[in-house]
């Protein structure tokens, strides 16, 4: 997997390359990343990358030419590896980033990620160079660097060998359309709160069932939209029916 990032602040991506899981994954050769500053592709002494918008309005708009040249250079490096590049612009108006989208992007081995700034990017660049726009949420940040790192982190942890336990990624929230179940570790007793008995039982079938039930309950309470968007398995429907009956009996 190779990432080419276009950003005015390349140093921000040290958070990916020098810390935690993503740093270890890079040291293992699971992915590579190169960050290009579009100021390196400007022609004036001030290295200008933005200008006032036509039609007036607040803020500045990023210029077409420096970004187009930076992206072209990044795409060329990917093509040299025999990979077809895919260009993404991180933008609040993009499609929402989901687990399913992350997994689809993991099939693409060469990504160019544009992390823009200011009020936006000249539309002509988006029309001619960018393949798709992706959003990490319905809010606006100061720039696309943090969203780009969110996307990269979500993808890198899915690469084989990135996590210490091969099952870790497959048990994350959203993988099966449910939120993750609660986790516990030592001590067994903390300020009067104890670890659920089932987790101490050694009965793996019961533990698996308890975890599935907790995922269902948490999803129903916090993200009912996720349950509405998927079909329950027979086991999931049975577990919820058991809990609903128990709650009805307790309240009667």
In DSSP notation, 164-191 reads: SSTTTGGGSTTTTSSPPPP---S-SEET
Catalytic residue among 34, 65, 77, 157: 157
Q: Read off the pLDDT of each residue in 187-194 and give the average, rounded to a whole number.
A: 96
Number of domains comprising the chain: 2
- Residue 81 carries which DSSP code? T
Residue 132 appears among annotated catalytic residues: no
Query: Choosing from 153, 172, 180, 209, which is the catalytic residue?
Result: 172
Is position 119 annotated as part of the catalytic site?
yes
Angle at the Cα of 78 from the Cα atoms of 74 and 83, rounded to 5 degrees: 150
pLDDT band of residue 166 (cuts 50, 70, 90) is low
172 carries an active-site annotation: yes
**By the 8 A CB rule, do 121 and 173 touch?**
no
Residues 75, 138 share a domain? yes
Does one domain contain both 149 and 223?
A: no
Are 136 and 27 part of one and the same domain? yes
209 in catalytic set: no
150 and 217 belong to one structural domain:
no
Which position among 34, 65, 119, 133 bears the catalytic label?
Answer: 119
Q: Largest Cα–Cα distance of the chain, in whole Å?
A: 78
> Based on the domain organization, do 76 and 113 belong to the same domain?
yes
CATH number, domain of 199, equals 1.10.1270.20
**Predicted confidence (pLDDT) at residue 49 exceeds the cutoff of 90:** yes
Residue range 154-177: average pLDDT?
82
Catalytic residue among 92, 132, 153, 209: 92
Domain boundary pick from 156, 183, 210: 156
């Amino acid at each position: 997997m190779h990432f080419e990032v276009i950003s005015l602040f390349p140093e921000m991506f040290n958070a990916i390359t020098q810390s935690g899981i993503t740093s270890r994954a890079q040291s293992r050769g699971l992915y590579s990343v190169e960050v290009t500053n579009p100021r390196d592709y400007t022609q004036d002494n001030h290295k200008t990358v933005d200008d006032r918008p036509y039609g007036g309005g607040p803020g500045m708009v990023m210029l077409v030419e420096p970004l187009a040249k930076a992206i072209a250079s990044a795409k060329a490096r990917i093509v040299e590896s025999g990979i077809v590049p895919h260009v993404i612009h991180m933008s609040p108006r993009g499609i929402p980033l989901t687990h399913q989208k992350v997994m689809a992007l993991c099939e693409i081995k060469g990504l160019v990620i544009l992390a823009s700034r200011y009020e936006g990017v000249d539309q002509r660049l988006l029309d001619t160079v960018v393949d798709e726009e992706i959003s990490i949420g319905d809010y606006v940040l100061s720039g696309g660097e943090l969203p780009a790192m969110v996307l990269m982190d979500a993808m890198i942890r899915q690469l084989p060998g990135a996590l210490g336990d091969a099952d870790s990624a497959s048990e994350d929230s959203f993988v099966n359309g449910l939120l993750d179940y609660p986790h516990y570790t030592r001590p067994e007793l903390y300020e009067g709160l104890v670890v659920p008995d089932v987790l101490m039982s050694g009965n793996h079938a019961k533990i698996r069932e308890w975890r599935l039930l907790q995922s269902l309950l948490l999803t129903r309470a916090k993200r009912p939209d996720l349950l509405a968007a998927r079909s329950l398995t027979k086991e999931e429907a049975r577990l919820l029916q058991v809990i609903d009956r128990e709650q009805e009996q307790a309240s009667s």
